[in-house]
């Protein structure tokens, strides 16, 4: 079986799609070391770097999303879609997959469409509480649909749904440092309350502005801050701090590779409401203030956030309100030990363990049944 198992995994565009895809691939490899796994992504997107860095081969399709504001530009998009469909046919003909996995994102559409047309069983993994357009279109052709939230039968056939949760980055769960050791790893005092701010690998403008405009409050507080600005905003935010003057209780970083240690150091996290990040918070039981991005399809981050807020498992701050209220809200929560304990207890109840392994088992079952 191991030597014959051939799996295509398609999708990407953001870390929220790519991290689960790589985790699923790793879980398949752990169970079947000789399995052949090929990724199919979109040229120019993040997966074209992240997947090879994780040790997997990837083929790129020249596909992009539709431009809803400039309709004439979609003529080019349609040509790219047609070309991607033809390229997907060639990739699948040469690779001969036994099963296909779609994680959402542009490339998974043509790839899984071709696979389904050739009788290759398909599994889709939906990270969000509100599904993306690609996965909604692929649902009828999929054999199994792995989801992270309850109530997804509103969009998907109920008999295909498996509640698995989202696979997360392994280093988030494997940190062996104590909280004081983790703080010291960032050059901070081991015994002071600490807030971690993250806006994804590229950064989040609103979260960054919420810090930049209130550096006086940051400095005056008895709380420490680890601030991941994202690479795009790092130079600008570092200049703002330099112009303000020394802030000894603030650590500014463009990117944090060891998120397990960063989470361990923090009493409270401020974050966007991406599905993968939320899954990580649930598994480690980390109190969080969620600031959903308004710049995502179907406002799905707000829906992700409210799924937790409605169970008293997170605090919600609207993006438009964040520059004025976010820092005060976070400082009030981090000083309230009862609130922190309640948030931690409630969010941990929502965590689903071993998601990648469960999904990998379903992938292998589909291949065997074929």
pLDDT per residue as tens digits for the range 326-368: 999 999 999 999 999 999 999 999 998 899 999 999 999 999 8
What is residue 163's DSSP assignment?
Answer: E
The values of phi and psi at residue 340, to 5°, are -60, -45
- pLDDT number for residue 253: 94
Range 138-146 average pLDDT = 95
Beta carbons of 65 and 106 less than 8 angstroms apart = yes
Structure tokens at 272: 């966007």
| Global pTM value | 0.83
Name the pLDDT band for 72 (thresholds 50, 70, 90): low
Name the pLDDT band for 201 (thresholds 50, 70, 90): low
- pLDDT number for residue 19: 86
User: Three-state DSSP class for 250?
Assistant: strand
The answer to whether residue 135 scores a pLDDT higher than 70 is yes
Higher pLDDT, residue 95 or 68: 95
The answer to whether residue 66 scores a pLDDT higher than 70 is no
- pLDDT number for residue 9: 97
Beta carbons of 59 and 29 less than 8 angstroms apart = no
Structure tokens at 189: 């005092």
Beta carbons of 152 and 161 less than 8 angstroms apart = yes
- Tell me the average pLDDT of the chain: 91
Range 193-206 average pLDDT = 85
Place of tokens 């792995």: 146
pLDDT above 70 covers what percent of the chain?
A: 95
- pLDDT number for residue 319: 94
Residue 96 forms beta bridges with which residues?
A: none
DSSP string, 311-333: TTSSEE--GGGHHHHHHHHHHHH
Structure tokens at 206: 């609103």
- pLDDT number for residue 106: 85
Beta strands in the chain (DSSP E): 6-10, 36-42, 57-61, 99-102, 122-126, 144-147, 161-163, 194-198, 224-228, 250-253, 268-271, 288-290, 315-316
pLDDT tens-digit profile of 210-226? 999 999 999 999 999 99
- pLDDT number for residue 204: 87
Which segment of 93-102, 128-137, 149-158, 223-232 scores lowest on mean pLDDT? Answer: 128-137
- pLDDT number for residue 238: 93
Look at the chain and count its residues.
Answer: 370
The values of phi and psi at residue 83, to 5°, are -65, -40
Query: In angstroms, rounded to a whole number, what is the distance separating the alpha carbons of residues 212 and 236?
Result: 10
Query: In angstroms, rounded to a whole number, what is the distance separating the alpha carbons of residues 276 and 209?
Result: 23
Range 169-178 average pLDDT = 79
What is residue 335's DSSP assignment?
Answer: T
Name the pLDDT band for 150 (thresholds 50, 70, 90): confident
Query: In angstroms, rounded to a whole number, what is the distance separating the alpha carbons of residues 153 and 126?
Result: 12
Minimal CA–CA distance to 227: which of 242, 244, 216, 241?
241
């Amino acid at each position: 079986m191991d030597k014959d198992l051939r799996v295509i995994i398609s999708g990407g565009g953001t870390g929220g799609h790519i991290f689960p895809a790589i985790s699923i691939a790793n879980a398949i490899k752990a169970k079947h070391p000789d399995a052949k796994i090929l990724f199919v992504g979109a040229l120019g997107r993040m997966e074209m770097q992240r997947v090879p860095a994780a040790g997997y081969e990837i083929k790129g399709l020249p596909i992009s999303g539709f431009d809803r504001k400039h309709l004439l530009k979609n003529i080019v998009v349609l040509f790219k879609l047609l070309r991607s469909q033809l390229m997907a046919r060639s990739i699948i003909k040469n690779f001969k997959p036994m099963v296909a996995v779609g994680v959402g994102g542009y490339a998974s559409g043509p790839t899984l469409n071709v696979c389904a047309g050739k009788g290759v069983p398909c599994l889709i993994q939906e990270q969000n509480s509100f599904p993306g357009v690609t996965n909604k279109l692929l649902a009828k052709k999929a054999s199994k649909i792995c989801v992270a939230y309850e109530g997804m039968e509103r969009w998907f056939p109920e008999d295909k749904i498996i509640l698995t949760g989202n696979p997360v980055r392994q280093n988030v769960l494997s940190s062996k440092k104590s909280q004081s050791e983790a703080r010291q790893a960032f050059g901070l005092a081991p015994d002071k309350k600490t807030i971690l701010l993250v806006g994804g690998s590229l950064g989040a403008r609103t979260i960054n502005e919420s810090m930049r405009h209130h550096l006086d409050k940051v400095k005056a507080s008895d709380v420490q801050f680890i601030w991941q600005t994202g690479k795009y905003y790092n130079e600008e935010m570092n200049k703002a701090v330099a112009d303000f003057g020394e802030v000894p209780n603030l650590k500014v970083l463009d990117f944090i590779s060891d998120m397990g240690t960063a989470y361990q150091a923090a009493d409270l996290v401020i974050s966007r409401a991406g599905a993968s990040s939320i899954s990580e918070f649930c598994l480690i039981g980390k109190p969080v203030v969620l600031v959903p991005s308004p710049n995502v399809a179907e406002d799905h981050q707000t829906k992700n956030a409210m799924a937790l807020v409605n169970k008293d498992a997170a605090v919600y701050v609207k993006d438009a309100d964040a520059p004025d209220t976010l820092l005060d809200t976070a400082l009030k929560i981090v000083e309230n030990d009862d609130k922190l304990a309640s948030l931690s207890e409630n969010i941990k109840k929502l965590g689903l363990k071993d998601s990648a392994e469960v999904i990998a088992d379903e992938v292998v079952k589909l291949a065997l049944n074929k």
